[in-house]
């Protein structure tokens, strides 16, 4: 049993081992298949990579061939370009020589124009200064003559006013004396009449009522006469105030005329100041023109400096291009030497071309500056013509002002004559009015005397009646 058991166990182990071997074989075959597949895949990938690498090599060979063709073409083109540039340089050298000659000619022309312009400006300044001196002398003469004429007019007016005031004062004194004499006479007459009335009152004791009535009547008449005399005196004072007011108005008119002449003189002085200011502005404009010429020169120097800065920037750009080309030259080792040589030639040619273009631009700038100088010279000539026109206009204005002053002088003389005539007429009218009032006063006095005589006659008649009554009483 035991042996049989062991045999059975061995068979089972063998079967298990066989099964394990089969599974291991299957695994090995699967792994082998996997390795074969991966190897085939790697072979395919290697073949594809080799094919791609071969294609890349062929493409690189074709690129190298194309680069070689391009280099050959560029070499030929550069040679042709060098020939063209040499021809251009020769032509530009000739142009530069002609431009330098033109520049020298233009500089000479500028110097000539500058000398001519300086001479013309000096002549114009001398002419304007002479004109200004002439104008100042004329203005001083006219101012002196106007001041002298105004002084003469003022002195004459003062003398005439003094004479008129003296005459008026004398006339007023005479009128005052006449009025005082007439007042004294009227007062004496009133005193006499009052004394007569008192005597009549003393005498007429019996007829008190009648005497009272007569005295009241006389008193009323005397008060009326006094009021009339007071009114006449007030009228005389009013006329006196009117005459003083007319005199004051005449003085105010004369003061206004003097102020008007003073204002005219101030206006003339203001015009002279304006003329001086215009001369100063013309000088300032001339200085501004010279400053503008200096600014143009400074701008030209700045342009030259900016051109030098641009050249420096171009050099920096060229240096950066050199560095970039040096970095690219590592990829193009085969054609580096030829390219650098050609680049240096191109740089030299470009420098020469830039120098030629710079000279051309400088010549154009000089031409432009000469044109601007010509324009400024024309502008200065126009300014000189404008100054001459302004001087002529100021002369005409001064002549017109002198004519206006003479016309105003004549007008003032005419007004002075009118004032004189008006003053004489006023004095005559006042004399006439005073004479008329005196005649009125005399007529009123005569009327009063007539009324007094009538009153006396009436009083006499009443006295006679009283006497008759007395006699009748005595008879009774």
pLDDT, mean of residues 243-271? 64
Q: What per-residue confidence (pLDDT) applies to 265?
A: 58
Tell me the pLDDT tens digit for each residue of 258-291.
566 566 556 656 665 665 576 566 566 656 656 6
Say how far apart CA 378 and CA 375 lie, in whole Å: 5
Return mean pLDDT, the chain: 68
Q: Which of 116-130, 153-167, 189-203, 365-379 is predicted least confidently? A: 189-203
Tell me the pLDDT tens digit for each residue of 29-55.
887 787 778 767 777 776 787 677 678
Give φ, ψ of 205 to 5 degrees.
-75, -35
Question: Is pLDDT larger for residue 157 or for residue 100?
Answer: 100
Residue 453 three-state SS: helix
Residues of the chain above pLDDT 90, percent:
0
Sign of the four-CA dihedral 164, 168, 171, 177: negative
Instruction: Please tell me what DSSP assigns to residue 461.
Output: H
Among residues 242, 246, 238, 251, the alpha carbon closest in space to that of 162 is found at 251
**Rg from Cα positions in the chain:** 69
- List the helix and strand counts (H, then E) for the chain: 3, 0
Sign of the four-CA dihedral 47, 48, 53, 56: positive
* Cβ within 8 Å of residue 132, ≥6 positions away: 275, 279
Say how far apart CA 408 and CA 378 lie, in whole Å: 44
Q: DSSP readout, 172-229?
A: HHHHHHHHHHHHHHHHHHHHHHHHHHHHHHHH-SS-HHHHHHHHHHHHHHHHHHHHHH
Residue with tokens 């390219």: 339
Q: What per-residue confidence (pLDDT) applies to 247?
A: 62
Contact 369, 293 (CB under 8 A): no
Among residues 166, 148, 160, the alpha carbon closest in space to that of 416 is found at 160
Q: What per-residue confidence (pLDDT) applies to 22?
A: 82
Q: What per-residue confidence (pLDDT) applies to 228?
A: 65
Q: Cα dihedral angle (132, 134, 135, 140), rounded to 10 degrees?
A: 120
Q: Is 126 exposed, middle or buried (0-12, 13-18, 19+ CB in 10 A)?
A: exposed
Among residues 69, 117, 49, the alpha carbon closest in space to that of 335 is found at 69
Where does the pLDDT of residue 9 fall: very low under 50, low under 70, confident under 90, or very high at 90 and above?
A: very low
Among residues 71, 84, 87, the alpha carbon closest in space to that of 341 is found at 71
Residue with tokens 């009449």: 193
Say how far apart CA 212 and CA 385 lie, in whole Å: 106
Mean pLDDT: which of 57-71, 157-171, 207-221 is highest? Answer: 57-71
pLDDT at 1 over 50: no
Tell me the pLDDT tens digit for each residue of 72-99.
787 787 778 778 877 877 777 787 677 6
């Amino acid at each position: 049993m035991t042996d049989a058991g062991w045999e059975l166990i061995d068979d089972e182990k063998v079967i298990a081992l066989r099964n394990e071997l089969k599974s291991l074989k299957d695994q090995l075959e699967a792994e082998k298949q996997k390795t074969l597949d991966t190897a085939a895949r790697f072979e395919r990938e290697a073949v594809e990579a080799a094919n791609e690498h071969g294609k890349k090599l062929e493409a690189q060979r074709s690129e190298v061939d194309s680069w070689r063709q391009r280099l050959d073409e560029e070499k030929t083109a550069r040679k042709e370009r060098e020939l063209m540039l040499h021809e251009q340089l020769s032509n530009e050298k000739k142009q530069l020589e002609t431009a330098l000659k033109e520049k020298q000619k233009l500089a000479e022309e500028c110097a000539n124009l500058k000398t001519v312009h300086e001479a013309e400006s000096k002549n114009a300044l001398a002419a304007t200064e002479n004109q200004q001196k002439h104008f100042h002398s004329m203005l001083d003469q006219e101012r002196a003559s106007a001041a002298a004429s105004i002084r003469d007019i003022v002195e004459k007016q003062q003398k005439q006013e003094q004479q008129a005031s003296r005459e008026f004062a004398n006339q007023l004194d005479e009128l005052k004396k006449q009025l005082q004499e007439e007042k004294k006479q009227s007062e004496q007459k009133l005193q006499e009449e009052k004394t007569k009335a008192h005597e009549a009152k003393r005498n007429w004791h019996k007829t008190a009522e009648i005497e009272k009535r007569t005295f009241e009547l006389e008193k009323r008449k005397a008060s009326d006469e006094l009021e009339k005399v007071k009114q006449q005196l007030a009228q005389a004072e009013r006329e006196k105030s009117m005459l003083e007011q007319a005199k004051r108005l005449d003085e105010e008119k004369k003061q206004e005329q003097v102020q008007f002449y003073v204002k005219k003189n101030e206006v003339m002085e203001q015009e002279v100041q304006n003329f001086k200011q215009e001369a100063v502005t013309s000088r300032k404009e001339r200085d501004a023109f010279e400053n503008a010429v200096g600014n143009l020169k400074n701008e030209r120097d700045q342009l030259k400096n900016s051109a030098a800065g641009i050249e420096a920037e171009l050099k920096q750009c060229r240096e950066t291009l050199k560095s970039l080309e040096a970095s690219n030259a590592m990829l193009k080792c085969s054609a580096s030497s030829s390219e650098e040589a050609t680049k240096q030639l191109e740089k030299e040619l470009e420098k020469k071309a830039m120098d030629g273009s710079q000279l051309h631009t400088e010549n154009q700038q000089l031409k432009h500056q000469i044109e601007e100088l010509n324009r400024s010279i024309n502008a200065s000539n126009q300014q000189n013509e404008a100054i001459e026109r302004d001087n002529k206009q100021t002369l005409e204005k001064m002549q017109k002002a002198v004519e206006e002053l003479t016309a105003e002088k004549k007008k003032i003389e005419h007004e002075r004559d009118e004032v004189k005539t008006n003053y004489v007429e006023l004095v005559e009218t006042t004399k006439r009015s005073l004479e008329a009032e005196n005649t009125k006063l005399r007529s009123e006095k005569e009327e009063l005397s007539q009324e007094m005589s009538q009153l006396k006659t009436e009083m006499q008649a009443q006295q006679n009646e009283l006497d008759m009554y007395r006699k009748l009483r005595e008879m009774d």
